[in-house]
Amino acid sequence: MLNIVIFGPPGSGKGTQSCRILEKYSLTHISTGDLMREEMAQDSALGEQIRKYINKGLLVPDEIVICKLNNTIEKHTDAKGFIFDGFPRTINQAILFDDMLDLRATPIDLVISVDVAEEELLKRLAGRSEDSGRSDDKEEIIWKRIDVYKSQSLPLVSYYSQQEKLVKINGMDHVDAVFGKISLAIDTYLEKQEVLTEVR
State the residues that interact with ligand B4P by CB under 6 A: 10-16, 31-33, 36, 53-54, 59-60, 65, 86-89, 93, 124-125, 128, 136, 145, 171, 174-175, 178
Closest residue to bound ligand B4P by CB: 33
* CB contact at 8 A, 95 and 186: no
Nearer to ligand B4P, 63 or 198 (CB): 63
Sheet with 81-85: list strands edge to edge: 28-31, 81-85, 2-7, 110-115, 166-170
Query: Would you say 82 or 87 has its CB closer to ligand B4P?
Result: 87
The phi, psi pair for 106, rounded to 5°, reads: -135, 75
Q: How far is the CB of 107 from ligand B4P (least distance, A)?
A: 18
Q: List CB contacts of 51: < 8 A, sequence separation 6 or more.
A: 40, 135
* Residue numbers annotated as active site: 14, 89, 128, 134, 145
Q: Is the peptide bond before 88 cis (omega within 30 degrees of 0)?
A: yes
Least distance (Å) between residue 112 CB and ligand B4P? 13
* Nearest distance, CB of residue 125 and ligand B4P, angstroms: 6
Nearer to ligand B4P, 22 or 136 (CB): 136
Query: What's the Rg (C-alpha) of the chain?
Result: 17
